[in-house]
Amino acid sequence: MKKLKFLSFILILVILSANFIMPPAYALTEPTLQSKSAVLMDADTGNIIFAKSGDQKSYPASTTKIMTVLLAVEAIENGKVALTDTVTAKDDIRAGLSEDGSTAGIVPGETMTLENLLYCAMLASANEACNVIADYIGGDVGTFVGMMNTRAKELGCEGTNFTNTHGLPDVNHYTTANDLAKISYEAYSHPLFMQICSTVTKTVPATNKSDERVLKNTNGLINADSEMYSGYYYEYAAGIKTGHTQDAGYCLASTASKNNMSLICVVMGGQGINRPSGMEFTNFSDSILMYDWAFENYSYRDILETTDLIEDIPVKMGRDAEYVTVHPQNSVKALMANDEDNSSFETKVTIYSKENKEELVAPIEAGAVLGEITIERDGVVYGQSLLVACSSVDLSYSQYIKSQVVNTLKKPLVIVFILAVLALLGFYIYIVARYRTEKKRRLREIEMRRTKAMSEQQSAKDRLRSRSSILTSKYFDEDDSGKPDLNYRSKPDLNYLGENTYDKEAELKAERDYFDEFFGKNKSSK
């Protein structure tokens, strides 16, 4: 029983140890290099997939010529110079050059086209050709070297400084594998540069100082007949430049393509090692090792697809929808280890309406650009895409009208106008109410006067009837002589009846007089 428990304990330890020791499936075993520093870069994106001491400063030797020829190619593309321009070598073209340095045998006073000078610089690695090119494009070599350093900074090279055009040893002339990869990445994007550096042999016609020259590329990856670097031909390679000095060691910047994958490889500080089979140059052997490793274990995969639904964005005044969904306008691919998943990538989504703190308002057409997405890992951007609407959202006109009314009512001038109208309306209501109150009071007074007048009139009539009976009796009464009193007034005294104060016309006139008087007072009070 104790033995069984002990075996179980040992088994658990083995399982736990395996979990801790075994790396994840995508943690590939990296290639072991003999050179001092190296970088392997995705030629399509510029992303680095492998590096060894990539920021270590090193002497670049003749890989310096990549920048020299790059500036010449850019000057040609910008129209400053032309491939067919004829250039004459000045007397000082060999100033500062060693006698045993690489050369194409160009002498002072010799004239050839700029195109042939570029081939001399890249294929034969001719130091004097670089000085002739620099003097022609920059005006003088010193100015051109300044242009080289400026361009290096533009490309993001932080560990690079050039003091010459060719790469002969100088304590202040240095770069890094990372920086040289950046320069090579830019050069790779220029077809003319790649055409020149990928040429295996080139015949330069006779000049005023020389018979024709046959130039052979020093890059053993593409030149199977290389006299110095034989045995390193790599069928997938396509350039770019070799370099070697005692201080720099063996250097190589190259490109290769396979399985729809293009890579840039930089090796610096390589060695020349005596082997039983012959001399091994590690700048070439390490480059081939890295290429084979990457082509075997890496491939392009979609890390963002156009069918991915990224986000639902709220929409105002939509007729049939309150949200619109966005998807990437284009897919994004990344060069990844075959066993690696997409979980290590981060996405940064930017919705323009949110970024600007605005509301997204209908109508929206399908395909409308509403934002963007960035895919990155470890601070390296692998790709970007615009975000577009998956479908259209029509405008709700009822909501639109309501919104317009509400927005209009919020405007300061409209608010002031409404308040003014309300004030005038209130004043009008006040005036009308006061007028009606006064009118009712006046009508009551008139009614009271009329009632009083009618009452007095009735009283007068009653008195008149009473008096008439008296007069009648008197009329028929005899006077003292026994005769009727004919001199007594036969008509009633109307003044005795009192004035009949009820008169419709008088009432209307009184009302008009009051109206004029009322508004006259109000006007005078303002």
Q: Which whole-number Å values give the CA distances from 146 to 54, 71, 74, 142, in the listed order?
A: 24, 11, 16, 6
Q: What is the pTM of this model?
A: 0.71
Strands 380-389 and 369-377: antiparallel
Query: How would residue 18 be classed by pLDDT, with cut points 50, 70 and 90?
Result: very low
Output the six-digit token pair for 455. 């009452």
Q: What is the 8-class DSSP label of residue 224?
A: T
**What's the confidence (pLDDT) of residue 262?**
98
Mean pLDDT of 483-494: 50
Residue type, 105: G
The secondary structure of 345-372, three-state, reads CEEEEEEHHHHCCCCCECCECCCCEEEE
pLDDT tens-digit map of 462-477: 777 776 665 555 555 5
pLDDT of the residue at 470: 58
- Residue 328's pLDDT is 98
User: In this structure, what token pair is assigned to residue 355?
Assistant: 């970024």
Contact 270, 283 (CB under 8 A): yes
Residues 6+ apart with CB under 8 A from 134: 68, 140, 141, 144, 145, 165
pLDDT tens-digit map of 65-122: 999 999 999 999 999 999 999 999 999 999 989 888 999 999 999 999 999 999 999 9
Rounded to 10°, the helix 412-476/504-525 angle is 150
With beta carbons less than 8 A apart as the criterion, state whether 390 and 307 touch: no
Give the model confidence (pLDDT) of 175-202 as tens digits. 999 999 999 999 999 999 999 999 999 9
Q: What is the mean pLDDT of the chain?
A: 87
Q: How high is the pLDDT of residue 30?
A: 94
pLDDT of the residue at 208: 98
Burial 278-292, CB ≥16 within 10 A → b, else e: eebbbbbbbbbbbbe
Q: Within 13 A of 105's CA, how many CA atoms are on the CB side? A: 11
pLDDT for 320 beyond 70: yes
